[in-house]
Structure 1
Amino acid sequence: MEIEHSKIFSEEEEDQFLKFIDYAKSMLFPCDRNPAESEEEPTDVPGWSWIVKRILKTCVAYPTGVTPAILLTEVFQAWNEKSRDGAPKRQSECMIKLRRKHKRAKLPNTVTIDSIYEKKFLSLNSVIEAVIVEAFILPGTSVLMLTLGDIWSSNTIDLYLHSRFRNIADSNNGILKEGREILLTGCRLRAALGVARLLPSEYLVVLLDEDEDDDAMLIGAQFCSDTFSSISLDAAKEGANYSLYARIEHIGSLETQGTSVIVQKKQITLVDNDDMRLTFILWGEQTAIAHLLSVGSMLAIDKPFIASSIDSSLDACNDICLEYGSATQLYLVPLIQHKERVCVPLTQSHYQGSRLLSASNLTQGPIVSQVTLPCDTQGSIDFKNYPFRTYVVDLRGKMTGISLYGIVREISGNSESRFSLKIEDATGAIWAKLHFIRSWSLGRLGVGHTVYISGLSTTMTRRKRLELIWDENDTEASVINTSCLLAFLNSSCLHRLSRVSDLSLHMSGAQACRVWIDQIEHCHINTRFMHVPCGHLVDLASDGDLECKFCCVICSAEVQRTFHLKITLADDTAKLFAWCVGRTAAELLQITPDEFYELPDEEQIMYPSALGLEKFIVTVVNCGRQQSRIGLAEQDSDMVDWEVTCAMKCE
């Protein structure tokens, strides 16, 4: 096995795309320190997967080709934009101390105050994680203003405080004073006479710190006397108020209610210290508050509206639920994202030690041995910002945010929205279960194709076998089929041309060749219908409908005419018999399927002889004689080992 892995490692070292990733990282982000020497997360250098994803995104955007300069510029500018909030030019000493203390994860929709000034725009869904720099009364009025800063910005901005928060902004006993952190959403930006200010918003959450004596006393005195079991719906109707403290267990997806009038609803599951659960409901525009909350954090609710579960159209085991009423105020003790020291596997030293991990001269001592990564309350470690490439052999239980670069060896489908891919890299293979929102949405993907998958998590099967899970709903989830990217063929920096005689059925990964169509050898042209979302050929079902066996659906409304082409390609060294479908076949034949279909039968028969000796750069993959367990419509008794996944005419 070691010999086989060494062979595959050797083949991966010839992958021009992987070489360019290493080159881009070394040029733009040279390692001059060992991450293991610092307790801080190395935010000044992007992870391997971030660079890959950014380069592939650029390739998708520029199918006509990219140069090293374009790619390096795109990566550099994107990282600067992403990291712009990491190093403000000037801050007060108070803000610097707060920045050092800050350990919680940034919320998904967070914007910085600096970015508000730069873009002169603020969406209602934006989240502001702010610190009160000053609280004051607007001269000549009774309007209370808060000057806000954040730990990522050098600018501050003023907020008109909503009247519902005046009681906690009292200058003597109020909690909204200098140094207090708050979360804010639903804000509108007002820029008049060159001055930018935030208009009042009802959706403000005050952050508490249990390590601070004043906050700990507030929690104990105000929020720990009431429990969920002590709530009485009758007492609430008579005016009783409650102050509750519970952990956020789940934040549900957005729902709609009503028939004639559509009202949005968000349900949040809370668990108190007695392990009793209640649902906290947000209605309409209130659902924006959910952007301020995070699973695992402790939520303190002062004066919630106590409602009947039946009246709230809630199917729950409890008779009551909580709502965000006109007098309700929210306090949050955010979940502190813990971090773990993760050992860099031997895989990195085996394959990347001389290149990616050469942070310093090897004679100066051992290279990186550990990195620090965040983990959640269940102990799952997030590898989204892992500095190095992750291999199959490195995978363990309780890992999230994984990215893999490898070859598809098998594909199977259980339903219209659930598929499984067997992914192989230089160290082994693993099954990944893909969960789609509705149906397959990744375009054409076949056995032998090289893919980059991000947003993976590990899980154990009932038979204690490790496998991966991928959910399309995850914001980090993506699958990019690099074998079908036209930009690869148009970009000399991303591929290395091989001779046909060098191709072997034992080779892994996509290979680029400069070829022509051999008119004398076999050329079989057939027009079929293709299922557009997946790029696979369809069959005629017994009832006359068109069926996609890959997606397991009847798809008569989502098909288009395409080629199923078997053709002989050649160069000066050898010939190759291959097959292809779709855009690739049309590029090789220099005619569209509809145009070919309209030709008389005799012209269709004679068409291959008119192809000439036009040259193409093509991407070919070894699909083998065993195709996917689904999508067998592309197979017949004359199976072919090579698939042309991409083609481009060249001079």
Structure 2
Amino acid sequence: MEIDQSNIAAEDEEENDPFLKFIDYAKSILHQNEGELEEDSARSPGWSWITNRILKTCVSYPSGVTPAILLSELSQAWNEHIRSGAPKKQSDVITKLKKKHKRAKLPNTVTIDSVFEKKFLSLSSVIEAVIIDAFILPGTNIYMLTLGDIWSSNTLDLYLHRRFYSIADPDNGILKKGREVLLTGCYLRVATGNSVCARLLPTEYFVVLLDEDEDDDAMLIGAQFCSDSFSSISLDSVKEGTSYSLYARIENIGPLEVHGKSGSLERKQITLVDNDGIRLIFFLWGEQALIANLFSVGSMLALDRPFIASVVDNSLEICDEVCLEYGSATQLYLVPLILHEEQVSVALTQNHYQGSRLLTALNPSEGPIVSQVTLPCDSQGSIDFRNYPFRSYVVDLRNKMTGISLYGVVTDIRVSEGIFSLKIEDTTGAIWAKLHFVKSWSLGRLAIAHTVYISGLSSSLTPQESLQLSWYENATGSSFFNLSCLPAFPNTSCLHRLLCLNDLSIHTSGAQVCRVWLDQVEHCHVNTRYMHTLCGHRVEQGPNGDLECKFCQSICNAEVELTFHLKITLADDTSKIFAWCIGQTAAELLQISPDEFCGLSEDEQIMYPSSLEREKFTVSIVNSRDDSGSFLEQDRDRADWEVTRAIKCE
């Protein structure tokens, strides 16, 4: 069998990638700091969590960051992440609850400990609580609930909203000690002076959790919510005062929509499916949209006395005759989706690539090799890889995976009907990923040969049975970083190795960093042109006079700026290369803005590059050689190297 030397070289290069090596190093440091807690795998940060935090820190420090700062930021962030997971003392109610707590934590959830620490609570924050005590304030008829959560040692008192008094009755109500509840839209009242007392003011956005395995809850669901169905709803009966109690599965939670001439009316659609398979839309209007933060797809929602509206009366553009709304008498109960867990075998790639270091808890002497990990999966069988301890490679990917993170090089970009597709390649293969944006392209400049890290990917099969990835900009856990264009990258020594130009011939994959000077400036080519500000690619004037972005395939008359397109020779003591760049990078090399350059006379523009002879820079550089003739790289002409970042050396 022939050995592919190019693959071996690529594997060796990735094995020595400083960025990947620093991730491993940071994981080992965090693991050592866990002390007695290191046996709990849930308390060890996963590969993607560390990578995200490193890159977010680099974005926060565009001038560069030291290893000490990175490790300090990682340690602080991880301590905050787990601190609430090990409370010093909790009530017996919470201790009992923790043993059977298997649902997923909601995206906006905050812990009660963090509320006490920050003395702040945003309206969109979610509190997943258990009732520690329920009582009436002495001398009043005001109901109070003392709330705790499974992550905190503190408790928090809530003034119960009067719409829930009927279910808080000490004799017949269900809001008793041990009951789980979800709430949002809360205002925090913090006592003044030296008192540490804090209370939550009444909120209407309050959901009671039910457990079908508990006899009392099962009887409540059967007696109150199973006699009515969506097909039994009659508008005539509604007009006569009939109320309904309905039970259905949450099939979809739509995005926040804006309506009205002034864009002031907000709406959220929740698609519900009852036991007969009939669908209805549950609408949340205005501030009510906060309630959707308490829902999760797949959970069962019990609606007691929802407001039933006629679609015709409301002029709603949906096909159903009726819809449901959160009315003044409505109360909501939720049977949350219980996350099942699945044993996932650790991919064989972890034995061959960087991840192999992690299989033995970062030190072979510390424990046995990990052959499988337990990950949550939903009711459709999709497995969530957000907390997967290791790096995922292209060859590891299978159908029905969510929360995937990939680190690789962009080898192709295509645009079709507003959907952008990237081909991402690592040492094990390449795969296409479709990017779905909230509005339009928002990732800045991206081109072939750029090194990227992307999280929040999901896998699925195409009609042709090939595997593809999807990425949604506003999905929980979604992030996208272009290391090649990251300002901090060339100034953060622990994330790259400084190469000589002569070494680039054997390090042709991904972003590299070199220290160079400008050479042969008499052959420097400086052009000015217009660039699309959103994506960093050139624009051209169409037949009708509009400016068109060839990358985004859109009209962008109001989103253009004057920019440089520069081709210049870079040199160091070992070699010379002919490179190209555009935008801010070109302006950094030329040390002048496009407007200032255009303000010079023609003779001054011709003579200007000669003033840059031997100016020294630290540059991020990628091999943009592309034999496909892609329109994205037509600007480079015969220059095979793109300078993606440039920092002047003092």
Equivalent pair of 2:109/2:128 in contact (CA under 8 Å) = yes
> Residues 182 and 206 of structure 2 are in contact (CA less than 8 Å); yes or no, is this contact kept in structure 1?
yes
Residue of structure 1 equivalent to 2:525: 524
Q: C-alpha separation between the residues in 1 aligned to 2:643 and 2:338? A: 50
Partners of 1:519 and 1:611 within 8 A in 2: no
Contact 1:129/1:150 (CA < 8 Å) preserved in 2? yes
Structure 1 residue 167 displacement after superposition: 1.5
Matches within 5 A, 1:419-568: 419-504=420-505, 507-519=508-520, 522-568=523-569
- After superposition, the Cα gap between the structure-2 partners of 1:506 and 1:182, relative to the gap in structure 1 and judged at 3 Å, is closer
Shift of 1:175: 0.7
Give me the whole-angstrom Cα distance separating, in 2, the residues matched to 1:61 and 1:31. 25
Q: Partner residue of 1:13? A: 15
3-state SS in 1 of match to 2:102: coil
Q: CA deviation at 1:458?
A: 0.9
Counterpart for residue 153 of structure 1: 152
Q: Is the 8 A contact 1:549 1:633 kept in 2?
A: no
Deviations 1:359-404 (A, max 9, x none): 2764788511111111111111111111111100001100111111
Instruction: Give secondary structure in 2 for the equivalent of 1:507.
Output: coil
Cα distance per residue 1:199-246 (max 9 Å; x no partner):
112221111101111111111122112222222222222222322211
- Separation in 1, partners of 2:111, 2:629: 47
Query: Which residue of structure 1 aligns with residue 190 of structure 2?
Result: 191
Aligned residues: 645
**C-alpha deviation, 1:628, in angstroms:** 6.9
Secondary structure in 2 aligned to 1:166? Answer: helix
Deviates more, 1:484-493 or 1:515-524: 515-524
Who is 1:318 aligned against?
320
Query: Which amino acid is the alignment partner of residue 306 of structure 2?
Result: P
Q: CA–CA distance in 1 between the matches of 2:521 and 2:201? A: 75
Q: Name 1:406's counterpart in structure 2.
A: 408
- 2:390 aligned partner: 388
| Structure-2 change in CA distance of 1:604 and 1:286 (3 Å) | closer
Q: Which residue of 1 aligns with 2:644?
A: 645
Using the alignment, how far apart are the partners of 1:481 and 1:259 within structure 2? 38
Alpha carbons 1:86, 1:152 under 8 Å: kept: yes
Per the TM alignment, residue 438 of structure 1 is displaced from its structure 2 partner at its CA by 2.2
Are 2:275 and 1:276 equivalent residues in the alignment? no
- CA gap of 1:372–1:310, structure 2 versus 1, over 3 A, is same
Q: Any idea what the Cα deviations from partners look like across 1:159-199, whole Å, max 9, x if unmatched?
A: 11122212111111211111111111222222235332111
The superposition leaves residues 48-91 of structure 1 with CA deviations (integer Å, 9 ceiling, x where unpaired) of: 11111111111111121111000001111111222232111211
In the aligned structure 1, how far is the partner of 2:542 from the partner of 2:16?
Answer: 45
Q: Which residue of 1 aligns with 2:378?
A: 376
Write the distance in 2 (CA, Å) between the matches of 1:166 and 1:595: 69
For 1:224 and 1:245, how far apart are their aligned partners in 2? 7
Amino acid at match of 2:340: H
**Code of the aligned partner of 1:242:** Y
Partner residue in 2 for 1:60: 59
Structure 2 residue aligned with 1:232: 234
Query: How big is the shift at 1:138?
Result: 0.7
Indicate if the aligned counterparts of 1:445 and 1:481 stay in contact, CA closer than 8 A.
Answer: yes
Task: Report the secondary structure of 1:475's partner residue.
Answer: coil
> For 1:542-591, what per-residue CA distance to the aligned partner results, in whole angstroms no more than 9, with x for missing partners?
33333221111222322222211111111111111111111222222222
Q: Distance in 2 between matches of 1:131 and 1:53?
A: 32
Mapped partners of 1:360, 1:588: distance in 2: 42
Give the Å deviation of 1:257.
Answer: 4.4
User: Deviations along 1:423-470, whole A, 9 cap, x unmatched?
Assistant: 110101111111222221111111111111111111212211111111
Letter in 2 for 1:76: S
Post-superposition offset of 1:353: 5.6
Question: 1:455 touches 1:476 (CA, 8 Å); kept in 2?
Answer: yes
Matched letter for residue 503 of structure 1: L
Secondary structure of residue in 1 paired with 2:392: coil
With 354-363 and 466-475 compared, the bigger mean Cα shift is at 354-363
Distance 1:90 1:292, change over 3 A: same
SS in 1 for 2:83: helix
- Look up the SS of the partner of 1:79 in the other structure: helix
Give the alignment's TM-score, normalised by structure 2. 0.94
Does the CA contact (< 8 Å) of 1:622 and 1:641 recur in 2? yes
CA gap 1:439/1:287 in 2 versus in 1, 3 angstroms:
closer
Map of 2:619 onto structure 1? 618
Matched residue of 1:289: which SS?
helix
Q: 2-side partners of 1:313 and 1:602: how far apart?
A: 67
CA distance in 1, matches of 2:4, 2:273: 51
Deviations, residues 505-563 of structure 1 (Å, cap 9, x unaligned): 77211221111111367321222222111111222323333322111122232222221
Q: CA separation of 1:333/1:642 partners in 2, compared to 1, >3 Å: closer, same or farther? A: same
Residue in 2 aligned with 1:241?
243
Distance 1:318 1:511, change over 3 A: closer
**Partner Cα separation in structure 2 for residue 112 and residue 50 of structure 1:** 20
Partner of 1:105: 104
Cα distance change on mapping 1:144 and 1:532 into 2, 3 Å? same
Structure 1: how far apart are the matches of 2:549 and 2:439?
15
Change (3 A) 1:518 1:285: closer
**Residues 244-284 of structure 1 deviation map (CA, whole Å, 9 limit, x = unaligned):** 21111112222344458943332222111111122222233
Alignment-derived partner of residue 82 in structure 2: 83
Query: CA contact under 8 A between 2:410 and 2:450: conserved in structure 1?
Result: yes
Contact in 1 for aligned 2:521/2:612 (Cα 8 Å): no
Structure 1 644/463 Cα, relative in aligned 2: closer, same or farther at 3 Å?
A: same
Structure 2: distance between partners of 1:609 and 1:321: 72
Report the secondary structure of 1:148's partner residue: strand
How far apart, CA to CA, are the structure 2 residues paired with 1:50 and 1:569? 37
Alpha-carbon deviation of 1:110? 1.5
Give the distance between the partners of 2:544 and 2:506, measured in 1 at CA: 40
User: Which stretch has the larger CA shift, 292-301 or 345-354?
Assistant: 345-354
Partner AA of 1:111 in structure 2:
V
The offset of 1:30, in angstroms, is 3.9
What is the SS of the residue equivalent to 1:405? strand
CA contact (8 A) 2:355 2:390 kept: no
Paired letter, 1:538:
V
- Are the structure 2 counterparts of residues 143 and 46 from structure 1 closer, same or farther at C-alpha, using a change threshold of 3 Å? same
Are residues 140 and 564 of structure 1, via their aligned partners in 2, closer, same or farther at CA, if it must alter by over 3 Å? same
- The residue that corresponds to 1:215 in the other structure is 217
The alpha-carbon deviation at position 336 of structure 1 amounts to 0.6
Which letter does structure 2 place at the counterpart of 1:23?
Y
SS in 1 for 2:558: helix
Partners of 1:621 and 1:164 in 2: how far apart? Answer: 62
* Residues 282 and 618 of structure 1: CA distance in aligned 2, closer, same or farther (over 3 Å): closer
Change (3 A) 1:244 1:362: same
Secondary structure at 2:357's aligned position in 1? coil
